[in-house]
Every structure is written in C-alpha cells, then in structure tokens.
Structure 1
Amino acid sequence: MPEPAPDGPLLFGCILNGEGSCQDVDWQTARDWSPTRPGETLWLHLDRMYEDLDDWLIDYLDLCEGTAELLLSNETRPRAFREEESLITVLRGINFNPGAEPEDMIAMQVWCDGNRLITLRRRRLQTPRDIYKELQAGRGPCTAGDLFTALAEQLVAKMNYSIVDMNDRIDEMEEDEDTEIDELLSEIASIRRNCLALKRYMSPQHEAMLAIQKSPPHWLSEENMTDIREVGERLRRYLDDLDVSKESAIVLQDDLNNRAQAKMNQTMYMLSIVAAIFLPLGFLTGLLGINVGGMPGVGSSNAFWITCGALGVLMGFQFLIFRKLKWL
C-alpha cells in the first residue's frame, strides 16, 4: 500500500500518551512541540531527503552540525553514541520493498532525548509502520525507551526471515538432482554474496547494541536494557547462523564442482576409450587406402569383405582386452 502524501518531511507523527496508544500530529504542530504533561513522548518519522531538514534539526533539536549530517547521511554503517542524555543510533533493516534484494539493507537514523524520538529514512521501511499500527490499536509502546527498544527489536527480528529463507534454499539444493549444476552454482554464489552483505551491516549493529549497554541514557529502564541485551544476543545468533549458511554454501558448492568434474572426467574417459578402439582401425584403413602399386587384394572381388571381417575380428579382440583390463 502506498504511503500517504507527506506533510513536509513528516511521513507520520504522533504523541504517545503513556498507555500504549497515541494521538496523531501534523508537521506544523510537531516542529514546535513541547510536553504538556508527564509521560508524553513525541515520535516523528521523517523523510531525510527533505530540503532544509538540517536547519530544523540544528535549530529545534539543538544538534551540532556533525550529528545533523550523520542523521541525514545516505551511506552509514550501524553505530550508537550519546550526546549528554540524547542517544543517536544508526540501524539497518531488511529491504522488503518489491523487487529489492534482502541484502540491500535500509538505514534508519534514530535520535531520542527521552521526550522526543525522531526516526529518519530515505526509502520505505516496514518496521516503523508496524509499530505505528500497534499504537493506533492501543497495543504499542508506552515510553520513549519502549519505543526505541521496539524499533530495534523488530528491525533485528525481521532479519531472521532472510536467513531462514537462505538456509531453506540451501537444503533444497542439496536434494535437487534435476536442476542444471551451472544454475545451482550461480544461485549458491548469490547466497554467499547475500551472507557477506548481511554480515557487513549486522556485525556493526551488534556492536551498536553493546555500545548502548555500556553507556545507557537515564530514560532507558532496566526492562529496556534487558530487551536491548536480548537484541544483541539475537544478533549474535544471527551472525553465527550466517556463518553456518556460508559454510554450508561452500560445502555444497565444492560438492557440485566435484560432481561436475566427475561427470566431465567420465565423458573424457569414454571419449578416450572410443579413440583407443578406432585408432588401430583407422590406421589399417588408412594404410589400405594409399594409392600405390602392389596393394594386396586389388584384383580380388572378395578382398573388401575379407578386410571388413578382419577389422570386425580386431574390434572384438579389442573389446575383450578392454573388458579384461576393466576399462569397460
């Protein structure tokens, strides 16, 4: 389903009421918002490609230019760091957009000070929409810490779908005897590239979770920290699963290469046997075909049939020798 037309840079915005639901806000209200009662949290999901958004980040959120540039950057590795009581995090999520490759992970920048949480993205990302729907249904996070944790948890949980799909496909290929080996080898190479691409972003994302645990802001509760530790452990398990997938793909690739080599060797062997059978026959027929005087049988009408019979006997004798040597 296409996203609604944005309101300025705002894709959607809401105020969490602390009870699992929210109230929608527009960009005009959100840009100058301040809490009116305890427990309120402003969440803005922004398109970071919007012009002049950096001015708003610097003026309204009081960010330094380097931090604002990081939040608006297109090419960023996952990371997390604090600026006083604000937490700046760059996370990556699986790209589920139509026609996209799973390893083409989408970056989402997050800034939060405990009262306001800002998420920024360039391409459509499924996770913020899922959490926003939970809030609209009254089953969403209650605090800024809960919201941050939910975003991290769902981004990481969706990575498992791609890993499971790759493992299932490897299992299918191990039992596949109908597909051409070249086609299977091409697919295995693609899976190995996917594993490397996913690991490229999942490893620093795991380190980002560790960085948050080392220096958490005050607005992350003990329960939030427990959830973040679980997210880090889950990422660690996914990284191990990626290593297993990569190793399985390598083993399967070696097996397919060996099967292809064995098939080629068998073909070459049969060709060598055929050549060995017809080599003496070809020599004799070539010798008898030379156009010089004195060739035996030239004047006899039975010489052709005698020669064919002799060649047949020679071929049968060769077959017997090859069978005795176990070449056939």
Structure 2
Amino acid sequence: MSAPEVMLQDNAKPLLKGWVLNGQGGARAINFQQLATLELQADEKLWLHWNKEHPSTLAWLKASQSISRFERQLLLEKTTRPRFLTLTEHTLLLFSRVIQPKARADSSELFSVRVRCTEQVVLSFAQPGAVFGDGLKQLFKEKLGPKTTAELLLLLMREATEQIDHAVEALAEFVDQQELRVDQEEKYEPDHQELLQIRRSSANLRRYLAPMKDLFAALAKAQPAWFDKGTRPYWNEISNMLIRCLEELELCKERVGFILDSERRKREQRTGRVMYLLAVVTAFFLPLSFVTGLLGINVGGIPGSDAGHGFLIACLIIAGLAAIQFMILRVLRWL
C-alpha cells in the first residue's frame, strides 16, 4: 500500500490517535471501537485526538453526557482564534495552531487545534492534515511520557511550538542565503515572487503567533487548581519561544525589504551605467557625424574633392575634432 493511500485511510478515521496513560510515563494505544467498553482506572488518564471533520466525531460528542452543547460548538466551529477558556473548576478549553513539521520556508499554513482538558481526559480536535502529538509515541515507548493531563497538555503545546520555531528558523535561513547572494554576486537577481511570498507568510504567522504568545503567558499565570505547579516555568518558556519567533519574523520582513531595495538599486545602477555609456557615445559621435554630413552634403559638391590631399585634410579635421572632444570629456570627467 502506498503512502498516500495510508494517509487517506488515516484521515478517513474519526479517531486519529488514542492513548490511555498509565500514570508512570507509559501508555497503551486504543482505537475507536474500543471506546465503547473502555473503563479508566483511578490512576489512568485518557487522550483522544479526533478528526473534527468526520461525522462520527460529532456523533460521539453528542453522545457524551459530560460535554455540553456550548462546548461542542466551540470545539467544532469553523474558525478559531488562539485563546483559552476555563469553563468550570475542572474543565479547560484551549485553542491554538500547529504547523507542518517539514513545511517549506515560504509556507505559512497553520492548522487550528482545539483541546478540551480535564484532570483525567484530554480531547483534541483538528483537521486530518494537521500533525499533532506525533512525538509522544516514542516517549510512551520509553516510559518517559507525561503522567498527568497537565503534563500531556504541556508536551503537546511545546511540541507544536517547536515545530513552528523550526519553520521560522528555516524561513530565516532562506532569507540569510538570499541576502548573502545579493551581497556577494553582482549579477544575482532574487525571485521577487518568492520573496513576496515570504513576506506574506511572515505576516500570516505573526497574525496567529502573537495571540498564542499571550495565551501561554496567561495560562502560566492563571492555571487551574489541578495543574502541576511545577509546569508554570515551562509555559512561560513556550511563550518566550513564540516571542523569539515573532522577533525573527519581524526581522525577516525587514530583511526581505532590504534585499528587494538592494536588488532594485543594483538594477538602477546597471541601467544608469548603460545610459551613461550611450550618452558618452552619442556626445562623442554626434559632432563627428555633423561634420561628415556637412562636408558631404552641399550644393557645390564636396570641398577639396579636386585637390590631391583633400581627403587627408578632411580626415585630419575630423581627427582633430575628435581629440578636442576627448579632452573636453576628460576635463568634464565623463571619461
């Protein structure tokens, strides 16, 4: 089976990921069919990552008595803005964004992810193309995974933020390469469309990263009572990581403008040199053309045509005029 077929089958499932955490750093995977008979032990936690566009997801949410109609509307709404809501003492809703881990430098495609977190259950919802929480599988395998839902939420958001940070680094590295080539290669002309796409991508990323930065900073200050108190510095670090990303994006925007300005100045200089050369050639040959035309076009014929040295004299006159022009141009520093 080819990779696209596997991806298509995964995307067609309502439950994209399901893990039962044992509270000791490990976890076991579960599928959609096992949910009907699942009973959590006292020390176990549950994480379900849903395909929000699948009809069975909405059906499961409607059947869940612990999730209100208001929560369903928020979790499945078409457009979201990064934020978090504390609905009750034990329920937290968080709306954030994730980016593809191997996104191109000029890609700004961000996927919305919605999370409902309680002390025992974490429900996350995203569209099928979003990559979310893939790094936890290895942690569970090594028994180094999260032990509580608060730790799980922290690791999910940190992994998503690191993916954004890598994408911003790739964008900055691409701008570095373009800037270096413009500075070192006289004839290099950067792709304007690609640079403009980077500028648009930077603006689009800043649009979402700014509220995400505020989201995690606020979450570090106003944590629910069941959150691990030791996680507060880590939430602040996620916010700081996004601040660095925003600063890098702002710098990339300015550097793209510098590259475009530098390339435009080089083009104007090349055009100016060509026009200068044409002006010098014109100024040099126009008087000579006038003299030759004056000698060759008259009613009485060419002066000195009957004399034996007439042609030589005409050549000397033109050569003398050319020498005078050359000296004048040198004095004027045109040559």
Please give the TM-score of this superposition, normalised by the length of structure 2: 0.86
Please say if 1:137 is aligned against 2:142. yes
CA offsets 1:276-305 (integer angstroms, 9 cap, x no match): 112212222333443634542455575445
Which residue identity lines up with residue 97 of structure 2 in the other structure?
R
Alpha-carbon spacing, 1:254–1:192, altered in 2? closer, same or farther (3 Å):
same
Please say if 1:233 is aligned against 2:240. yes
Distance 1:246 1:311 in 2: 58
User: Runs of 5+ in structure 2 lacking a partner?
Assistant: none
Please say if 1:310 is aligned against 2:317. yes
1:123 paired residue number: 128
Please say if 1:252 is aligned against 2:259. yes
Which residue identity lines up with residue 69 of structure 1 in the other structure?
Q
Please say if 1:114 is aligned against 2:124. no
Distance 1:170 1:301 in 2: 72
1:29 paired residue number: 34
Please say if 1:78 is aligned against 2:111. no
1:105 paired residue number: 110
2:67 paired residue number: 63
Residues 267-282 of structure 1 mapped to structure 2, 5 A cutoff: 267-282=274-289
2:20 paired residue number: 15
| Secondary structure in structure 2 of the residue aligned to 1:139 | coil
| Secondary structure in structure 1 of the residue aligned to 2:246 | helix
Please say if 1:44 is aligned against 2:51. no
Alpha-carbon spacing, 1:179–1:205, altered in 2? closer, same or farther (3 Å):
farther
Select the residue among 288, 294, 303 that pairs with 1:296.
303
**Contact persistence 1:181–1:260 (CA under 8 A):** no
Please give the TM-score of this superposition, normalised by the length of structure 1: 0.88
Residues 157-306 of structure 1 mapped to structure 2, 5 A cutoff: 157-176=162-181, 177-178=184-185, 180-290=187-297, 292-299=299-306, 303-306=310-313
Please say if 1:319 is aligned against 2:323. no
**Contact persistence 2:165–2:241 (CA under 8 A):** no
1:90 paired residue number: 95
Alpha-carbon spacing, 1:267–1:61, altered in 2? closer, same or farther (3 Å):
farther
Which residue identity lines up with residue 322 of structure 1 in the other structure?
L
Distance 1:319 1:31 in 2: 97
Which residue identity lines up with residue 330 of structure 2 in the other structure?
R
Distance 1:115 1:302 in 2: 113
Identify which range, 97-106 or 259-268, moves more after superposition.
Answer: 97-106
| TM-superposed deviation, 1:203 | 0.7
The percentage of aligned residue pairs carrying the same residue is: 27
Identify which range, 199-208 or 120-129, moves more after superposition.
Answer: 120-129
